[in-house]
Every structure is written in C-alpha cells, then in structure tokens.
Structure 1
Amino acid sequence: MDTIIKFRFLGDGDCPDWLLAEINTLSRMTSIKIKILGQTVVKYLTEGDLDEEKVRKITQDAKVELNDAKAMVAALELIFTSSARYAVSAADLSSELQQLGLPREHSAAIARLHTDHCPQITATLSSQSLRVSRLSSIEVLSCDNSSPFSTVSLKLKRLDGNVENSVINISKKDVHVLLTELRRAKSLMETL
C-alpha cells in the first residue's frame, strides 16, 4: 500500500502530477531566473498584469519552449496562491518544494518571494473570493397584513446603483426577525 505524502502548501493534499513535472522544468533554470519569473508571477497575481514578453525572454534564455513556459507560470501561480491560502511559513514552503525535487537555491528564492508578497496575495485572493452585491439601502415599500402571512415588498439598492424590488411572503411574526437579520447582514457587509 502506497503512502501519500501530504504537503501543507497544498492544503495537506497530495501534489498533482502536472506540478511534479513542472518542478522538474523549473529545476533546469537558474535560481536567478526563477526569482525573476517568480516576481513576474507575483505581480500578475497582485496586479492582474502578466508581462508575457518578460516571461518569454526569461524562458527563451533557458531554452524552454512556450508551452513549458506557460506551465511554469501556472506552477508558480499555484505555489504562491496555495501557500498564501493555507498560511504556510516560508521555511515549510522551502522544505516541501525541496521534497518535490526543486533545488535548495530555487526553493529559497520562491520562499523569499512568498515571505515578501504573501500579504498582498492573500488580500487579492480575499477580494476575489467572495463577490457579493453590496447593498447601500433596504427600504420596506409595503407590508400587507390582511392574512396570516404578510407580503412584504422591499426595495434593495446596491452600491453599483442597481435597484431591485423584491416581494417576500412571510409570517407576521417573522417580519421583525427578517428586518433585524437584513440590518445585521448589511452591517456585516459594510465591514468587508
């Protein structure tokens, strides 16, 4: 029975085969080129701008084909985002990358980039992870209490300016609970 090695930077999961293949490709480059390529990937992750020309130049010098260059960028992107997501220390990241076959100098360069840019990567991931239409106001337009269930018409105004009218059928006793919960949700959303 095979024992599966777990990696903290991958959320205590196994390393995907494609990443192992790219570790081998990354190993063929110098640690300086890994650092420059890593900086380019970090900039892409935090600013959304991948300098493809720079990637091409770095990898051409190392005689890496275009498809391998794209895969190396994807591997570094996974390493940086996953290690930031799981709050892995630089020492653990470096050690685990070495276990996967990346030379010590390469692992150290990636770990330094992780240390320097983890807060920005984490902030970027957080801003992209939960996209909720933020409400600027909730207004009760009408409330019909003529039956055991109330019909409440709400006007929901989002921060982007869009207005949505919603009708909710709810028991009379739950109207106040709904309004309290909507106010609580609004205040929580304002803190995000």
Structure 2
Amino acid sequence: MVSFIFSLKKFRFCGEGDCPDWVLAEIISTLSNLSIENLEKLSDLVAARICGGTFEESGIKLLTSTLTNEGKTAVACIHFMLINAARYNCTESIFGEEIQQLGLPKEHAAAMCSVLQKRSGSIRQKLIDKAFRINELQCVRNVTSSGETPANCATLELKISQELVEGLPKDTTHIVNLERSQMIALLEELKVCRDVMDKYENKN
C-alpha cells in the first residue's frame, strides 16, 4: 500500500518521475536506522567515489557494520539518490523535503543535504565528463596461450572501469575467447568507427 501511494507522487530528484520501490525500501529499512553521523560519512564516501575518488571499502564496511550485505544496498541507494539529485539539478531544500516524504528522518535528511550541497557541482561535472560512457573500456590485452586458448581462437583480457556489480561501481577484468575470423572482422569495424569519429573531430 505504501509503495502504491508513493507511485502516485512525482519526485524532482527522480527527474519528476516515480521513486523506485527498492530505493523507498532502503530509505525506510536501512538509511533511517544508521546514525546521523554514519549516514553523513557514508554519503560523503559514496559522493567522493562518484567524483572519481578511490573506493574506500574498509571505511564503508566500518560505517555499515550493523547492516546486512556489508552495506551494499545502502551504498547503491545513496549512489542513486546523489547521482539523480545532481543530474536533475535538485536543490538541497527540495531534496531534503522529498526524502523526508519518503520516510527519512529530518536530521538524517539534513545530513544527506549537507553532502549534496558540498558535492553536487563535482558530481554534475563528473556526469558531464562521463556522458555516453557506460562501463568504460580501459584497455584490451591479447593473452592468447597455446596451452589454454581453444584452437582457431584468440583470448582477450578486457579491463572495465566503474562496472556496476551488485549495485556498486568496481573496476573489473573479463577474459573472452573470439574466433580469429571474428576478431579480424571486429578490428575492421572498429577502424571504420575510428575514421568516422576522426571526421567529426576534424569538422569541429
């Protein structure tokens, strides 16, 4: 019933859309149960990570030691709230009012607003810098091994930056096997894409 009522309301920090049910559940069951100080520190660590800082896993685990899932869902919820509040240019006052309407106590909301006020400009700039980049490919390395790679295939190591894993951004590594004919075709297509992008850059 609660989620149905909130589905009728639109929220500025959600882009004038509905608040996802999982965010509502986390606000009520998790964020509200953190101490005000820990919520503010946790929100600041998440904001720093959004802005390109290191992921302080030990600090996050310490702040969320009373929660289940090592605080992963809490971090994912805060990440969603701060990213969207900055993306939709939601003021601290409106953000505070809306998350209180969703069940976050007033003092807890004030703590999150303090972090948003301090970090919103940096988060917004990071979003601009990262526009159109999802799971950014950092590098590709040929790790073909005569003893392990299947015949007529090549083994590539792909390093991905900020891939979302269980709601948390992490740097990941993936190993894939490609048939050599497919790899040659892929290389040719990538060359065509590069030429097209070069043409647009030269026009600018």
Q: TM-score range by the shorter chain?
A: 0.5 to 0.7
Counterparts of 1:1-192 in structure 2, within 5 Å, are: 4-24=8-28, 25-60=30-65, 63-65=66-68, 67=69, 69-130=71-132, 164=191, 186=202, 188=204
Counterpart AA for 1:124: K
Q: Pick closer, same or farther for the CA change 1:187–1:111 going to 2, 3 Å.
A: farther
Q: Pick closer, same or farther for the CA change 1:21–1:165 going to 2, 3 Å.
A: closer
Alignment length, in residue pairs? 139
C-alpha separation between the residues in 2 aligned to 1:21 and 1:104? 17
Aligned to 2:144: none
Q: Pick closer, same or farther for the CA change 1:186–1:85 going to 2, 3 Å.
A: farther
> Among the aligned pairs, what percent are the same residue?
32
Q: Pick closer, same or farther for the CA change 1:64–1:87 going to 2, 3 Å.
A: same
Per the normalisation by structure 1, the TM-score is 0.66
C-alpha separation between the residues in 2 aligned to 1:71 and 1:86? 22
Greater C-alpha radius of gyration? 1
Aligned to 2:173: none
Aligned to 1:150: none
Q: Pick closer, same or farther for the CA change 1:80–1:165 going to 2, 3 Å.
A: closer
Query: Are 2:61 and 2:70, in contact at CA under 8 Å, matched by a contact in 1?
Result: no
Structure 1: state its 5+ residue gaps: 132-162, 169-181
Structure 2: state its 5+ residue gaps: 134-189
CA deviation after TM superposition for structure 1 residue 41, in Å: 0.3
Per the normalisation by structure 2, the TM-score is 0.62
CA deviation after TM superposition for structure 1 residue 49, in Å: 2.0
C-alpha separation between the residues in 2 aligned to 1:186 and 1:33? 50
SS at match of 2:104: coil
Could you list the structure 1 runs, at least 4 aligned residues long, displaced by more than 2 angstroms after superposition: 163-166, 185-188
C-alpha separation between the residues in 2 aligned to 1:107 and 1:165? 50
